[in-house]
Structure 1
Amino acid sequence: NVGVALTIWTASGLVSLMGSLCYAELGTALPFSGGEYSHIKRGLGSLPAFVFVWTSTFTKPASNAARALLFAEYATQPFYGICPAPEVLKKCLALAVLWSLGILNGRSVKVAAWVQMVFTLLKMMALSVIAVGGIVLLVGGRKENLARFEDMFGSEMPNASQIAEAFFQGLYAYGGWWSLNYMAEEMKNPSRNIPLTVMTAVPAVIVFYLLVNISYLTVLTPKEIVSSVAVAVTWADRVIPSVAWIIPLSVAVSIFGALNSSMFTLGRLSYAGSQSGHLPVLISMLNVHTCTPAPAMIFSTTIASIFIIPSDLIMLTNYFGFSAWLMIGLTCASLIVLRYREPNLHRPYKVFLPVPFVMVAMSFFLVLAPIVWSPNTQYFYAFLFMLGSLIVYLPFVHFKLHFAFFDKITCYLQLLLEVSPADGSDESKCE
């Protein structure tokens, strides 16, 4: 259903904008490393914060695995034409990309930031080519190009569960707006830069994504889009066949940049959780030569590598979306709690109060709708996994149970990895 699809793309963008505005208030009021983890800990307490870091330790690497597999899909497709690329090849390439970026982020913050800037520019160029190509074809006014938009809502309407799962995937594409808060502590003038970035970047992304999807629908039928392994490749074969390889290469570059950003922020989450005693102390240590959180990067990259094995993109994005939106709901709930519990907290930017209430309601809809209308074992396992955090929290965090042999293992790994405690100095000061 073309109309519903474009509506969900638009709604996903607006939900992401509302969420980013909520996060802008938290990031400017509490500019601490760790992003959502620090906000939940301040607003809701230690146990919800531990559940968040426990869940994110696995769901965010799952998201990285999905991005790495998507990169491999686009990077290999031009070499195989209409035939699917071998699964083993895609998995090997995804693993290579994951570990390359893991090593890069574990070696130098400055180089990782430079790579992010370059790949963001390349990403915008790729989206511009597809968007402009679609506008040109629409302006041309050929009947077959306009046919898909004449009766946009005429096809079968999806049910609530399908809409929720579509939101998971649409919101996954907009994912990244929460990343700013992970770097608030290292940012120059966060009280100005975080709201400014949110209010300019997220609307720009919404416009780009809508133009790109309209461009796809101008050239391809909905059935062709659904059946295509890599939609941008199919689009390029139709519109610019002589240089069609440029588009999949550009999309792969775009995904590479998104993956680099995600791994950059994930290291800071693990680092902040370890500093608060919610993860092993080794993860909060910095490399003595580069002052980067190398153990945190190795830890998260290893978990992401395990998620590469199933290679089911839809399963990974749905599982990630289900867990992530529960955590986003908790983060927005912590904003509401802090508004009433700490009314005098300095807030350089304040979001309109109904917005976080809408975000909490939206988050719980996205979590509960698939469970109620289309029960799936993956959601049951996700809940069990979250509850499993209590088995770890009670003895090791609440009662501070400690085993001497953990110290020996930590000491050995500390020597092997050449890392030491941060001693209150963050990476930006080391750099």
Structure 2
Amino acid sequence: MVQKLAKNKEDDGVIQLKRTIGYFSGTNLIIGVTVGSGIFISPGGVMKYSQLDVGIAMIVWLLAGLLTMLAALCYAELGAALPLSGGNYYHIKRCLGPIPAFIFLWTITMFRRPASVAIKALTFAEYAVKPFYYGCAAPVLTKKCTALASVWLVCCLNCISVKWASYTHNVFTVLKVVALAIISIGGLVVLTKGKTQYLEKGFIANAPEASYIGQAFYHAFFAYSGWGIINNAAEELKNPSKNIPRCIMTAIPMVTVFYLLVNISYLTVMTPKEVASSASVAITWADRVIGSFSWIIPMSVAISTFGSINGSTFSQGRLNYAASREGHMPPILAMLHVKYLTPAPGIIFSTIISSVFIIPSSLLSLTGYFGFSSWLLVGLTCLSLIVLRFREPTLHRPYKVFLPFAFVMVAVSCFLVLAPIIQSPQLEYIYALLFMLSGLIIYFPFVYFKLHFKFFDKITYHLQLLMEITHSEVYENGSKNQ
């Protein structure tokens, strides 16, 4: 049944991902995922750990943008040279071996990406239901149901059509850029009126300890997170060897400039202490600057987070798809829907995990683990670039990054991982590390020793029939059987 459906879909008999994402959509994909809830909630954390010093806080935001750009350029070389779905997972596997790749996969699939989507969904719910509970707090159950509805709506959209998922992402990205432009222009207008007293209080505090600097960067990088998404969609990107570097070089500088302008705008009407203590800096800014039109900002936050959920779901589905093809995840996740040509099983799997994070967790408890694991994985990816340069010097590289950038990013990653642990040890770091290593309990029996239970084949078969999915290689050249 599945084979018949597959053959009817494609005249040439090939079921595979289609290259439908161009330069504009690729750039929007990066911007749309990067600009989520972070810029609306992270400024307080950056200011707090910068010891309320405006100068230090602005340097943190600028350096975070520059370091993000360096890391993204490293990713661009890998993505242009090896444009395959799964991106960084595949690069780590090829350069550092299957065990580091599986630890990367385990962490990003079972913790980092689901936690990120859950944070975005809870933030979306917080702002989406706010107008219906004016003057009082919304019930927790209502917010969690709204968050769950948002992730499953996005899941359905991504399962049905790559084109419509991309179109939706483009629209939401344009809307969130408009929102950032409103805040930026509003701040510039206030500056022209001479309100610079809070911005003038820079470099008045003593230099923060290394652990505080690390925490400040964690909060800033949370706002920049998502910049590496384009590599995961490489198989669906038109001319990936050229468009991956182009998209990155366009998107990251735009985001950095917007973030600096937005933070300057916040500080035109708020003291550093108010920024550090505010749970929703953008709302406070809107109340003081645009008055009766302040409803625009909560709506913009909801739009930003929903668009970011869409991009993250798109990316995670491709990662699951690629990892399954490499034998690191169940075979069903390497299948595509025979009608829509989307990695529906991988998308649904990641949505289920995200839903599990939403149900019992609070926003605060989820954010505590994010920075530690993410920068360890960034370090592994940049190390993969270095290894690949020396191991495969003749590999065709349409784009080559200045190699010292990769060494800088490995060093920065080590600092961001180790500094907070050494100077301010906390249990969540140990929990995160143990969780990452726990993936080996799955790796050795099921991947390395290939332990297999036959009843899984029956489950897979029935799910294929139910979901109308099949392997992407089923009808390669019309001759390959399932």
1:285 CA displacement: 1.3
1:39 pairs, out of 62, 85, 91, with: 91
Matched, 1:76 2:126: no
Letter in 1 for 2:130: Q
Match of 1:247 in 2: 297
1:25 CA displacement: 0.5
1:286 aligned counterpart, secondary structure: strand
Indicate if the aligned counterparts of 1:69 and 1:311 stay in contact, CA closer than 8 A: no
1:328 CA displacement: 1.0
Matched, 1:216 2:216: no
Match of 1:22 in 2: 74
Indicate if the aligned counterparts of 2:336 and 2:469 stay in contact, CA closer than 8 A: yes
Provide, for residues 283-313 of structure 1, a one-character-per-residue CA deviation record: whole Å limited to 9, x for no partner: 1112233221111111101111111134433
1:146 aligned counterpart, secondary structure: coil
1:92 pairs, out of 145, 157, 166, with: 145
Match of 2:232 in 1: 182
1:147 aligned counterpart, secondary structure: coil
Letter in 1 for 2:89: Y
Could you tell me how far apart the structure 2 residues matched to 1:8 and 1:16 are?
12
Indicate if the aligned counterparts of 2:199 and 2:264 stay in contact, CA closer than 8 A: no
1:347 aligned counterpart, secondary structure: coil
CA 1:231–1:86: 2 relative to 1, 3 Å:
farther
2:327 aligned counterpart, secondary structure: coil
- Map 1:151-190; keep pairs closer than 5 Å: 151-155=201-205, 157-190=207-240
1:231 CA displacement: 1.7
1:407 pairs, out of 443, 452, 457, with: 457
Indicate if the aligned counterparts of 1:169 and 1:318 stay in contact, CA closer than 8 A: no
Identity %: 59
Q: TM-score, normalised by structure 2?
A: 0.84
Match of 2:64 in 1: 12
Letter in 1 for 2:304: S
Could you tell me how far apart the structure 1 residues matched to 2:138 and 2:57 are?
28
Could you tell me how far apart the structure 1 residues matched to 2:129 and 2:208 are?
33
Letter in 2 for 1:8: V
Higher deviation after alignment, 60-69 or 375-384: 375-384
- Map 1:99-118; keep pairs closer than 5 Å: 99-118=152-171
Indicate if the aligned counterparts of 1:169 and 1:317 stay in contact, CA closer than 8 A: no
Match of 1:232 in 2: 282
Higher deviation after alignment, 81-90 or 317-326: 81-90
Could you tell me how far apart the structure 2 residues matched to 1:156 and 1:77 are?
39
1:305 pairs, out of 349, 352, 355, with: 355
Match of 1:429 in 2: none
1:155 CA displacement: 4.1
1:226 CA displacement: 2.9
Match of 2:470 in 1: 420
1:79 CA displacement: 4.4
Q: Which runs of 5+ in 1 are unaligned?
A: 427-431
Provide, for residues 105-163 of structure 1, a one-character-per-residue CA deviation record: whole Å limited to 9, x for no partner: 1111111000011011101100000000000101110xxx3221222222465332222
Indicate if the aligned counterparts of 1:54 and 1:389 stay in contact, CA closer than 8 A: yes
Match of 2:405 in 1: 355
CA 1:169–1:52: 2 relative to 1, 3 Å:
same
Indicate if the aligned counterparts of 1:287 and 1:418 stay in contact, CA closer than 8 A: yes
Indicate if the aligned counterparts of 1:78 and 1:248 stay in contact, CA closer than 8 A: no
Number of residue-to-residue matches in the alignment? 423
Could you tell me how far apart the structure 1 residues matched to 2:191 and 2:339 are?
55
Match of 1:337 in 2: 387
Match of 1:260 in 2: 310
Could you tell me how far apart the structure 2 residues matched to 1:87 and 1:393 are?
37
1:66 CA displacement: 0.8
1:285 pairs, out of 331, 335, 341, with: 335
Could you tell me how far apart the structure 2 residues matched to 1:408 and 1:219 are?
63
1:149 aligned counterpart, secondary structure: coil
Provide, for residues 62-115 of structure 1, a one-character-per-residue CA deviation record: whole Å limited to 9, x for no partner: 111111112122223344456443332222211111111011111111110000
1:277 CA displacement: 0.7
Higher deviation after alignment, 404-413 or 297-306: 404-413
2:397 aligned counterpart, secondary structure: coil
CA 1:137–1:66: 2 relative to 1, 3 Å:
same
Q: TM-score, normalised by structure 1?
A: 0.94
What is the RMSD computed on CA atoms of the aligned residues?
1.8
Indicate if the aligned counterparts of 1:134 and 1:214 stay in contact, CA closer than 8 A: yes
Higher deviation after alignment, 154-163 or 225-234: 154-163
Could you tell me how far apart the structure 2 residues matched to 1:33 and 1:275 are?
10
Matched, 1:61 2:114: yes
Matched, 1:369 2:419: yes
Indicate if the aligned counterparts of 1:333 and 1:356 stay in contact, CA closer than 8 A: yes
Could you tell me how far apart the structure 2 residues matched to 1:6 and 1:86 are?
36
